[in-house]
Structure 1
């Protein structure tokens, strides 16, 4: 049986096996590391953080997101062991998601701007409970995320966790018309901070920055200084386990 490093890698493999034609992302000719998805000459696997977390993440991934090298849901799964990943479909079978949401060990939250939900559902802090928080993140472009939010009735009864970022997104691998639209990994880091998982939040932010640095360096064919502060910072998160 094939072993996968995490749920997003497994979902990608399942999607690949069932796809009738390959997904050709920009730069698909590049020979990539299977583990970190970067150009093999810019691999970051040696710096991957290893930290403990006591929260869960449920990624609902739109269409081709699992295939995209720039997807940051993968980075979340690298850090948060209890990450679950599902392909979102409006009319298909989402029973596995529904079963996860019914698991009594979790307190699920759909993470989305409160302005799109009824006020009685909106929370800005976590609910006091003995259950572990499960953050449901809609992984796609902003229009895709809004579609998932509107057309997923099994999410309608869940509390909405509305975040207020204090700074603009620093994500550089895709363009957005709104600087306040954070990438999925940035949203996850804010959720981890709310859950007092500050070490994991810091590790995820560092991992995102490192991934971005190597991704852009590969795109621009320039060298990376692996002795810089960012790389040294990443190594400090390998000491927690």
Structure 2
């Protein structure tokens, strides 16, 4: 394969054609809108799961940044009159950051799926905490935390804390919880497993790597 062919970019997934992920895209209907706030250093991360997630969820959007302009972020979080809920774990370390007191998440509101927006931070644990710290509007959102999750299949990146999931896995499990549907997102999670396997096979230390 020549260098010129290697550099060809897929117009859909924006990846080199030799590592195109379009074959893993799994269109999945979802009732809860998804807004992904992606750290700039994750945009060109070949191991990242956001591109596959965004192409698979029709009602999802990606905004890139570390610090977002407050008027723009406020408008986006309130757009359509939806309730934005932040997907973020309970963490005793938050106290050290002196973050705002979390609003109480009314369980009744979670039953109004069409009126919900799930906000997801995409970055390493350290980067996502910094994004939360630097954007006070995010601190004011009611928070959804995942608990007792299955082991991550994200073998191509090292987890820094036990139970840490990829952005795609965490989002799927959050949508499963909110929509009370364990089956709808399994095909996308299976496609993600295949994506991870392909990435593992493409590592330089693997015989016949991509």
Whether these two folds match at TM > 0.5 is yes
Count of paired positions: 195
Structure 1 match to 2:189:
205
Structure 2 match to 1:101:
77
Cα deviation digits, residues 34-93 of structure 1 (max 9, x gap): 244666345442453223222211111112211111111112102211111112233x52
What is the CA–CA distance in structure 1 between the aligned matches of 2:113 and 2:13, rounded to whole Å?
A: 35
SS at 1:175's partner residue?
A: coil
Give the CA RMSD over aligned residues: 3.0
Structure 1 residue 112 corresponds to structure 2 residue 88 = yes
What is the CA–CA distance in structure 1 between the aligned matches of 2:122 and 2:23, rounded to whole Å?
A: 26
Q: Is the 8 A contact 1:62 1:139 kept in 2?
A: yes
Decide whether aligned partners of structure 1 residues 109 and 119 sit closer, same or farther in structure 2, where only a CA change above 3 A counts: closer
Structure 1 match to 2:198:
214
What is the CA–CA distance in structure 2 between the aligned matches of 1:31 and 1:124, rounded to whole Å?
A: 49
Structure 2 match to 1:48:
25
Q: Mind listing any 5+ residue stretches in structure 1 that lack a counterpart?
A: 1-28, 225-241
Structure 1 match to 2:66:
89
* TM-superposed deviation, 1:127: 2.4
**Match of residue 191, structure 1, among 156, 163, 174:** 174
Q: Mind listing any 5+ residue stretches in structure 2 that lack a counterpart?
A: none
Decide whether aligned partners of structure 1 residues 169 and 80 sit closer, same or farther in structure 2, where only a CA change above 3 A counts: same
What is the CA–CA distance in structure 2 between the aligned matches of 1:187 and 1:178, rounded to whole Å?
A: 14
Decide whether aligned partners of structure 1 residues 71 and 126 sit closer, same or farther in structure 2, where only a CA change above 3 A counts: farther
SS at 2:202's partner residue?
A: helix
Structure 2 match to 1:137:
120
Decide whether aligned partners of structure 1 residues 174 and 94 sit closer, same or farther in structure 2, where only a CA change above 3 A counts: farther
Structure 2 match to 1:21:
none
